[in-house]
Chains A and B, each alone.
Chain A
């Protein structure tokens, strides 16, 4: 009970910090807006009509998953910054489990990412993505899963990188390639073998595919966008979540305490 309260308190702290940071608030909405609006719109204009594919919907679902996944992963990596500012010292001397700290942090960053998800949904409506209320509701739990999964991936990175500088430099190299290997804008169902392998080891791939699986559930063009069933993605993500969390936390704590 105490651990849950503590985890909630840490999550609440992250949400508060996000809501009190106007620059961060604004910037989190600009990118998805640009991606969906400009990329989705121009793909649609140039290819969509001939191929009969709804690029707007494809890019929307891709960007939604990518934004949430990346946002929670990046939020977790900010624990490094916290440590350098010494805030985490205050948290790490508290009489709570290290897993509570990490899980609280994941929950907090997921809340932050979900707030952004709501913003993206609003843009999607403005940009006239073909989205029903039923789909929007179904997307909520899916996006929550994506956030938690992104958070766990962040923990794995956290356990691997030691300084904020390293994180800032390496993070884009871990994230940007996944835009393509995970198929945020592009189809990945017929990749050459080498790229296919890269794609399969990109965690973001499963986040994107889960989101699409839920969004396209009742659509006729599902086969062109979705790779495997949401249940299959969920099972794999749950397994990876556990592995990322345990390995990442153990490595992070070991490095923290060895100095």
Chain B
């Protein structure tokens, strides 16, 4: 199946900027999958999303979204996208429903009518349903100004799903949400994906959030650091190792040297860290004669792996 998003060698340099905000990024997203773009502040996440959603013109690179060339057919692409921006983009003086109504008309779904009651029944049913699922049905006729941050996010989600987009972009959607709202959001995104086959493209700087994704792309300073499933990214970023120690450290070191192991002093526990390469660790340990006082395998969490990269570069 053709990827729903195909980015190759994307470069974006802002006007008057000295370096590229996005510097040769390539990745593909499978239809219906959950894709996470993970990176620290200033990594280029919002810039990438802005290019993919047609609001920023790329400096160079090829981009296809939802089966269309982004530069040649921006309108066809826009029709297939739902977007939740990093900064909320609601009209505070209008009611929640009016915000949604405006969106529905802009996407050509329904004709404009000056009051909710006058809108087609299909529209009212859809709004009612989505608002109920997200638990804001009672507040839809209130001005958005009176909404809490969490309710505003939910409203943006309702709005972004009205036109049943093929890809839903969310730029750090959980910023400012309490744990309960976060959990609700995740549950809901999961349901959206399962029900409509919607592709979810998320940016975050929280590893826990990315860990739930089918595929993760880690970017740092505009470049891809790692790309793959959670396990692949983990494996890619930091190797598993076994931390071993012995009464006679010098003898152990000499022996490891002789066995051709890759090892380094363990700065935390003392002794040595021996790299695990496939199944090779067991024969190695079995061959060691020096009495060991500690054998501890260590599988880094994605978080450790991620922090490691940020420190390294």
* Given the contacts A8-B112, A95-B108, A259-B50, A86 and B78 also touching, CB distance less than 8 Å: no
Closest to B94 in A: A16
Q: Contact check: which of A6, A9, A21, A257 meets B56 at CB < 8 Å?
A: A257
Contact check, B55 vs A6: say whether CB atoms are below 8 A apart: no
Contact check, A13 vs B102: say whether CB atoms are below 8 A apart: yes
Contact check, B102 vs A89: say whether CB atoms are below 8 A apart: no
Instruction: Note all chain A residues with C-beta closer than 8 A to B102.
Output: 9-10, 13
Query: A7-21 CB contact bits vs B (8 Å, 1 = yes)?
Result: 011101100110011
Contact check, B94 vs A13: say whether CB atoms are below 8 A apart: yes
Q: Contact check: which of A87, A92, A93 meets B91 at CB < 8 Å?
A: A87
Q: Contact check: which of B55, B90, B112, B114 meets A257 at CB < 8 Å?
A: B55
Contact check, A93 vs B112: say whether CB atoms are below 8 A apart: no
Between A and B, 8 residue pairs with Cβ closer than 8 Å are A6-B105, A10-B106, A89-B55, A90-B89, A95-B108, A258-B14, A258-B57, A259-B12
Instruction: Note all chain A residues with C-beta closer than 8 A to B105.
Output: 5-6, 8-9
Contact check, A258 vs B15: say whether CB atoms are below 8 A apart: yes
- Minimum C-beta distance from A70 to chain B (A): 22
* Given the contacts A6-B108, A17-B94, A95-B75, A12 and B14 also touching, CB distance less than 8 Å: no
Please tell me if A231 contacts chain B, counting CB pairs below 8 Å.
Answer: no
Contact check, B89 vs A87: say whether CB atoms are below 8 A apart: yes
The B183-229 residues at the A interface (CB cut-off 8 A) are none
Instruction: Note all chain B residues with C-beta closer than 8 A to A2.
Output: 108
Contact check, B106 vs A6: say whether CB atoms are below 8 A apart: yes
The B56-103 residues at the A interface (CB cut-off 8 A) are 56-57, 75-76, 78-79, 81, 83, 85, 87-91, 93-94, 98, 101-103
* Given the contacts A257-B55, A259-B50, A94 and B91 also touching, CB distance less than 8 Å: no
Contact check, B106 vs A96: say whether CB atoms are below 8 A apart: yes
Closest to A15 in B: B114
Contact check, A90 vs B98: say whether CB atoms are below 8 A apart: no
Contact check, A93 vs B78: say whether CB atoms are below 8 A apart: yes
Please tell me if A85 contacts chain B, counting CB pairs below 8 Å.
Answer: yes
The A115-162 residues at the B interface (CB cut-off 8 A) are none
Q: With A and B bound together, what is the CA distance between A257 and B56 in angstroms?
A: 4
Q: With A and B bound together, what is the CA distance between A91 and B102 in angstroms?
A: 9
Which residues of A are in contact with B by a Cβ distance under 8 Å? Answer: 2, 5-6, 8-10, 12-13, 16-17, 20-21, 85-87, 89-96, 256-259
Contact check, B112 vs A5: say whether CB atoms are below 8 A apart: yes
Please tell me if B116 contacts chain A, counting CB pairs below 8 Å.
Answer: no
5 cross-chain pairs, A with B, having the tightest CB-CB distances, nearest first: A94-B106, A9-B105, A86-B89, A95-B78, A2-B108
Q: With A and B bound together, what is the CA distance between A5 and B120 in angstroms?
A: 15
- Minimum C-beta distance from B171 to chain A (A): 10
Closest to B82 in A: A93
- Minimum C-beta distance from A41 to chain B (A): 36
Contact check, B107 vs A94: say whether CB atoms are below 8 A apart: yes
* Given the contacts A8-B112, A95-B78, A86 and B15 also touching, CB distance less than 8 Å: no
- Minimum C-beta distance from B91 to chain A (A): 6
Closest to B106 in A: A94
The B17-31 residues at the A interface (CB cut-off 8 A) are none
- Minimum C-beta distance from B95 to chain A (A): 9
Query: B249-272 CB contact bits vs A (8 Å, 1 = yes)?
Result: 000000000000000000000000
Extra contacts besides A94-B106, A258-B56 (8): CB < 8 Å: A9-B112, A17-B94, A20-B93, A86-B89, A91-B106, A94-B78, A95-B106, A256-B55
Instruction: Note all chain B residues with C-beta closer than 8 A to A96.
Output: 75, 106
Closest to B21 in A: A259
Instruction: Note all chain B residues with C-beta closer than 8 A to A87.
Output: 89-91
Contact check, A17 vs B91: say whether CB atoms are below 8 A apart: yes
Instruction: Note all chain A residues with C-beta closer than 8 A to B174.
Output: none
- Minimum C-beta distance from A9 to chain B (A): 4
Q: Contact check: which of B88, B90, B98, B106 meets A16 at CB < 8 Å?
A: B98
Query: B32-69 CB contact bits vs A (8 Å, 1 = yes)?
Result: 00000000000000010010011111000000000000
Contact check, A85 vs B107: say whether CB atoms are below 8 A apart: no
Contact check, A93 vs B14: say whether CB atoms are below 8 A apart: no
Q: With A and B bound together, what is the CA distance between A89 and B103 in angstroms?
A: 12
Q: With A and B bound together, what is the CA distance between A20 and B144 in angstroms?
A: 13
Contact check, B55 vs A90: say whether CB atoms are below 8 A apart: no
Q: With A and B bound together, what is the CA distance between A257 and B53 in angstroms?
A: 11
Instruction: Note all chain A residues with C-beta closer than 8 A to B93.
Output: 16-17, 20-21
Instruction: Note all chain B residues with C-beta closer than 8 A to A90.
Output: 83, 85, 89-90, 103
Contact check, A93 vs B55: say whether CB atoms are below 8 A apart: yes
Instruction: Note all chain A residues with C-beta closer than 8 A to B149.
Output: none
Contact check, A89 vs B89: say whether CB atoms are below 8 A apart: yes
Please tell me if B135 contacts chain A, counting CB pairs below 8 Å.
Answer: no
- Minimum C-beta distance from B141 to chain A (A): 13
